[in-house]
Chains A and B, each alone.
Chain A
Amino acid sequence: MKRVILAACLAVALVGRSAHAGSIGVGVFGGLSVPVVQSDVEQGSMFGVRVPIKLVPLVAVEPYFASSALGDAQEDVLGVTYTREGFDSKAYGANVMLTMGGPLQFYPFAGIGQTKLKRPGSDLSLTTYNFGLGLGISPAPKISVHIRGELAAAVDGEASRKFANATVGLSYALFSAP
Chain B
Amino acid sequence: MKNIRLWLPGIALAGLISAGCMLISGQFTVVYTFADPINVVSPSALAGQVVDLNTISEYKDHKDNLKAVVDLAVLGKFTNLTSTNSAIEIWIVPSPGAALTNDAAVRASGQKIWGPLNVAGNSSVNVTWDQSAALFTGRQALITEVKGDGVFALYALANGPYSFRINKGAFIAVISAGR
Instruction: Report yes or no: A158 in contact with B20, Cβ–Cβ below 8 A.
Output: yes
Q: Is A12 an interface residue, CB under 8 A from the partner?
A: yes
- Give the residues from 93 to 120 in chain B that come closer than 8 angstroms, CB to CB, to chain A: none
- Classify chain B: how many residues form its interface, as a range: 35 or more
Instruction: Report yes or no: B4 in contact with A11, Cβ–Cβ below 8 A.
Output: yes
Instruction: Report yes or no: A122 in contact with B71, Cβ–Cβ below 8 A.
Output: yes
Main secondary structure of the interface of A (DSSP, over half): strand
**Chain A: which residue is nearest B18 at the CB level?**
A155
- Give the residues from 141 to 178 in chain A that come closer than 8 angstroms, CB to CB, to chain B: 153, 155-162
Q: Which residues of B contact A58 (CB under 8 A)?
A: 5
- Give the residues from 1 to 53 in chain B that come closer than 8 angstroms, CB to CB, to chain A: 1, 4-5, 7-9, 11-12, 14-16, 18-23, 25-29, 31, 33, 36
Q: Is A10 an interface residue, CB under 8 A from the partner?
A: no
Given A11-B4, A155-B18, A39 and B168 touching (CB < 8 A)? no
- Classify chain A: how many residues form its interface, as a range: 35 or more
- Can you list, as one digit per residue, whether each of B146-179 has a CB less than 8 Å from chain A (1) or not (0)? 0000000000000000000000101010101110
Assembled-state Cα–Cα distance A160/B27 (Å): 9
The 8 Å CB contact of A82, one of B20, B128, B134, B177, is B128
Q: List, sorted by A's number, 22 A–B pairs whose CB atoms are closer than 8 Å.
A: A15-B1, A15-B4, A37-B27, A39-B174, A56-B4, A59-B5, A75-B29, A75-B172, A77-B168, A80-B126, A84-B71, A84-B130, A96-B11, A98-B8, A120-B130, A129-B11, A129-B14, A130-B15, A153-B15, A159-B177, A160-B19, A162-B25
Interface residues, chain B, with chain A CB atoms under 8 Å away:
1, 4-5, 7-9, 11-12, 14-16, 18-23, 25-29, 31, 33, 36, 67-68, 70-71, 73, 75, 126, 128-136, 168, 170, 172, 174, 176-178
